[in-house]
Amino acid sequence: MQVEITREYIDQVEEAIERKDTGFILETMAEMYPADITTVLYELDTIESKYVLDLLPPEVGAEILSDLDYDIRNDFLSNFTSQEIARYVNLMDSDDAVDILNELSVQTREEVIALIDNEEKAAAILDLLHYEEDCAGGLMAKELIKVNLNWRVRQCIEEIRRQAEDVERIYTVYVVDNKDILVGRVSVKTLLLAKDDKLVKDIYNPDVISIESFRDESEVVSVMQKYDLEAIPVVNIQGRLLGRITIDDVVDVMQEQAELSRQLMTGISENVEEDDSVFRISRSRIPWLVIGMVGGLLAAKFMGLFESDIAILPALALFVPLITATGGNVGIQSSSIIIQTLSSNAVVFENFAQRIFKLIMVALLNALIISTLVFAFTYLFWHDFRLAMVVSLALFSVVMLASMMGTLTPMLLDKIGINPAVAAGPFITTANDLLGLAIYFGVAHLLYNL
């Protein structure tokens, strides 16, 4: 019977833990997916979660531990002994096992590795520990299916059966030579349909996309997206097959990158979660709030230069929020599109002139529509033709300028190696505020002869 995860069910689980009612817990969670059990554990404290996990089959516990968020898992594992951690690590893919081991102290990590039963898996984990987490080598798992170029189909089938015990998903079979150099791939279907005495070199496909172990994780994401891959083999600089990266690991990287870009664009400088400490959350936000505050003070000081103009024509002050808000919105819209394009590693600088021309045309159309609407509204309510002209011309110029800034600034930062996401939010908004005010009062000076 599938149990719906509600607040009432969470309360029942907590009561069952307090009563040591293992029957209720095992019965209700028997048909749950590990991801659903993980949702339940997020609502429990660490001790209660460990109690539940200890009751579940080790295979389920290993999958749950692999999926837990970093901060929660870190607190969680502090209550486990090395023997308990090793029990779950034994059942994980090597890449998931390494992620967990990297979160442990050096002593605990060595104890866990020493307790791993499978010597081949222990060697694979030790190999993966040498790689940085944000490169292809750090993402890959050692578990894969590979066959030799000179084997016969019969031997390949036997090898697949042997290796498949350690490989959860078989996306493809990789073909290597006698030096373990990746030379191609062969589908399971092709092997099954071929005659037993057929050689692999006669049926394999040499067209295989791979990636070097030192490549950055963003390159891995780009390649797998571009070629629509479910898995990609990882090789060293000589082309020797080291492991493979599967789509689930790439999706995790994509989510992390999207979250980081979103936080940077909204003015959060660190990767923070809702349950982080007050100090850490505040520290991640305050630098950008200070930048915004400084920009606001500069704008106020800048408006002070036109205090005499406002005194002569007070209606000018009424439209300042319109000018600054529109410039900020247009800048953020333009920069968001460019940042999305850059994050997918699309080639932005090819056909640069054509892109700029298209940008200008879009900005021109938007500026014409907005400035026309503002002119009509202003003239209708204030009956002042020159005031309507000042506001509409200033708004037209601000939309054009903000569109250019929102597009070119992220492209320039990306070109010089700075994360373009930092260009959004406070920086573009503040710059557009100051330039927008300068344009607004400049147009007013020209038309009113102030």
| Spatial distance between the Cα atoms of 186 and 200, rounded to a whole number of angstroms | 8
Coil, strand or helix at 94? helix
End position of a domain, from candidates 133, 159, 191: 133
Specify the pLDDT at position 420. Answer: 73
- Residue 49, domain member (yes or no): yes
Tokens coding 361? 């045309």
Looking at the domain assignment, is residue 53 inside a domain? yes
Number of folded domains in the chain?
Answer: 3
- If asked whether residues 191 and 339 sit together in one domain, one would say no
Q: What secondary structure does DSSP assign to 23-75, as a single string?
A: HHHHHHHTT--HHHHHHHHHTS-HHHHHHHHHHS-HHHHHHHHHHS-HHHHHH
* 186 and 323 both lie in a single domain: no
Whether residues 286 and 322 fall in one domain: yes
Same domain flag for 118 and 43? yes
Say if 139 falls within a structural domain: no
Based on the fold, state whether residues 301 and 172 are members of the same structural domain: no
Q: Is residue 269 part of a domain?
A: no
Final residue of a structural domain among 228, 246, 264: 246
Q: Are residue 241 and residue 357 in the same domain, yes or no? A: no
- What is the structure's pLDDT at 212? 96
* Total Cβ atoms within 10 A of residue 118: 12
Q: Does 299 share its domain with 394?
A: yes
Phi-psi domain of 42 (left: phi exceeds 0; alpha: psi -120 through 50; beta: other)? alpha
Which structure tokens are listed for 71? Answer: 């901060």
Q: For residue 403, what is the domain's CATH number?
A: 1.10.357.20
User: Residue 35 class from Cβ within 10 Å (0-12 exposed, 13-18 middle, 19+ buried)?
Assistant: exposed
Sole residue written with tokens 């010597």 = 119
pLDDT reported for residue 303: 79
Which residue, of 112, 133, 154, is where some domain finishes? 133
DSSP H stretches of helix in 43-187:
46-55, 58-67, 70-77, 82-89, 94-101, 106-114, 119-128, 136-139, 153-163
> Do residues 15 and 122 share a domain?
yes
Residue 263 belongs to some domain of the structure = no
Predicted confidence at residue 30, as pLDDT, reads 87
Residue 206 three-state SS: coil
Sign of CA dihedral 369, 373, 378, 383: positive
pLDDT at 257: 74
Together in a domain, 303 and 398: yes
Calpha distance 232→211 (Å, rounded): 7
Counting as low any pLDDT under 70, the low residues of the chain are 1-2, 260-277, 281, 284-285, 288, 340, 342-352, 419, 421-426, 450
- Alpha helix (H) residue ranges in 315-384: 315-318, 320-343, 352-382
Which residues make Cβ contacts (< 8 Å) with residue 235, sequence separation at least 6? 182, 210, 211, 212, 213, 241, 242
Residue 113 lies in a domain: yes
Q: Which residue has the tokens 């406070």?
A: 426
**Containing structural domain, residue 409:** 278-448
Whether 117 and 188 map to the same domain: the answer is no
Q: Is residue 270 part of a domain?
A: no
pLDDT above 90: percentage of residues in the chain: 38
Rg (CA), the chain: 30
Residue 2 domain-assigned (yes or no): no
pTM: 0.67
In this prediction, residue 73 carries a pLDDT of 84
Q: Residues with Cβ < 8 Å from 447, sequence gap 6 or more?
A: 386, 389, 390, 393
Residue 83: CATH number of its domain: 1.25.60.10
What's the CA gap between 29 and 78, in Å, rounded? 24
Nearest-5° Cα angle at 80, 76 to 84 = 125
Q: Any bridge partners for residue 185, and if so which?
A: 174, 205
Among residues 322, 319, 321, 342, the alpha carbon closest in space to that of 406 is found at 342
Q: Are 442 and 311 members of one domain?
A: yes
Say if residue 368 is in the same domain as residue 444: yes
As given in the structure block, the two tokens for residue 112 are: 């866990």
Backbone angles phi, psi at 181, to 5 degrees: -80, 130
pLDDT value, residue 425:
62
Per-residue burial over 11-30, b = 16 or more CB atoms within 10 Å of its CB, e = otherwise = ebbeebbeeeeeeebeebbe
Closest CA to 309 of 389, 399, 387, 397: 387
The residue among 311, 226, 252, 16 whose CA lies nearest residue 134 is 252
7 Cβ contact partners less than 8 Å away, ≥ 6 residues apart: none
